[in-house]
Amino acid sequence: MQSNSAFLLLHGDSLTLPNDQTFRVSYKVPLPLRPESLRGLLSGGQTGSAAIGNGRYLVNSTELGNGTFGSVHLAVDMIKGRQVACKIIPLKSKDDSSDIERSGKYAAVMREVDILKKLSHPNINEVLDVCETSARTKICVVLGLSTGGDLFSHLVRRTRLNEMEAKYFLLQIFYGIKYLHQKGVAHRDLKPENILLVTPPPFPRLQIADFGLARMFPRDTQAKMNNRSLTVLGTVDYIAPEIAELMQIGQEKLITPTRGDVIAMAGDSWAIGCIAYQMFTGFQPFYPYEYMDSRDHDEDYHEVIPPAQPFDVPPAPETIEDDRMMPLPPLSGAAVKSKDGTRDELVRKAIMECKPDMSHDIWDSVPNARTMIEKLLDKLPQCRWTAKRALECGWMKADRKAMDEMYEKTIDMKD
């Protein structure tokens, strides 16, 4: 193991210290093993593993996460001797042929990869390699491994963050989004689940991930002025009012007199405002708690429980204590219905009204942070603060030197 690096230890692994002390790793809930996901990859000669990329990467059956795209597995770069993450995406063309390049999913994946290959920033999850299987039925995207889990899991464990940790996290999110927007890229699906902790807390480096809905806008001024149509995308809890209004009426395209990149990037700013609000309070700003809290007494209420999510990373020891008991943030996207409408309908309505509850007593102690969040949650996209503008506000500038020094140390760590 190299110094200044982080590794993910698995259930059953042994760790021997220089003084010959040996520890055996035991998870209360081990990471799931999904050897079936490795079918179609080249054999690695070991049970539960497969080699890809001409043998450079050994993919383990240990699953780090999954979704509609496929699954993410732990892997090892045999040349550089480091752990990486491998996103395995099964592909199938409409005519069921083996030509994966005719698959719509292939085009979407390669669009995401093409965007990421043009980017290089400490706060952007890096694409290291792309490998296609010999049977041309799957594509494997090799990514940098984040051993600290995602921000959503961190918020669930911590409920809410103190001011300094929240500022340190937001500083890095702003750095990453400012860089993306300068490159003409809008993420369009920012949420805590898509922000990774490169190492376990305290004060890790963050990386923005999952660019499946991202869009790159041409830097040519005339091209930007003509591009006024945007597809309505995003996760309901973090969409901006202008998108919520279109979702409400079932319209798939946003036709705007404003440049398309301005609207898309303003949506990223709105999402950061929602994430920041959640960091401070433990609540999502537009979640209909008052309706959902009374659902057990509503005869018309029904809830579809989402499938259990795989355990990501075991909770790390924390040095920051917070004894305030706040409710856990809800799982985004859970299908819930009350007498006043479905959960998503209530969320969209609250977003369109654009009146986040700022009465929580926490805001009295961080008035400048409150001002910044209100500016990020401005209903008018043209007036909404950008990441660059937020970095220039007084609250973000305070303690910047110390935080930048801490941030630079995380960049110096070996991946």
Q: Please report, in angstroms and rounded to a whole number, the separation of the first and last CA atoms in the chain.
A: 12
Torsion sign, CA atoms 152, 157, 160, 164: negative
Torsion sign, CA atoms 361, 365, 367, 370: negative
| SS3 category, 239 | coil
Q: Residue 339, annotated ligand binder?
A: no
- Quote the CA–CA distance of 360 and 367 in Å, as a whole number: 11
- Quote the CA–CA distance of 312 and 408 in Å, as a whole number: 26
Find the length of the chain: 415
With vertex at residue 129, the alpha carbon angle to CA 146 and CA 132, rounded to the nearest 5 degrees, is 120
CB neighbour class for 220 (10 Å; exposed up to 12, middle 13-18, buried from 19): exposed
Q: Which residue, 393, 403, 363, is CA-closest to 167?
A: 403
Asked if 121 contacts 206 with a C-beta cutoff of 8 angstroms, the reply is: no
Partnered with residue 24 across adjacent β-strands are 14
Is 268 part of the annotated catalytic residue set? Answer: no
**Which is the catalytic residue, given 150, 189, 268, 344?**
189
Q: Annotated binding residues, as ranges?
A: 92
Q: Which of the residues are catalytic?
A: 189
Binding residues for ATP: 92
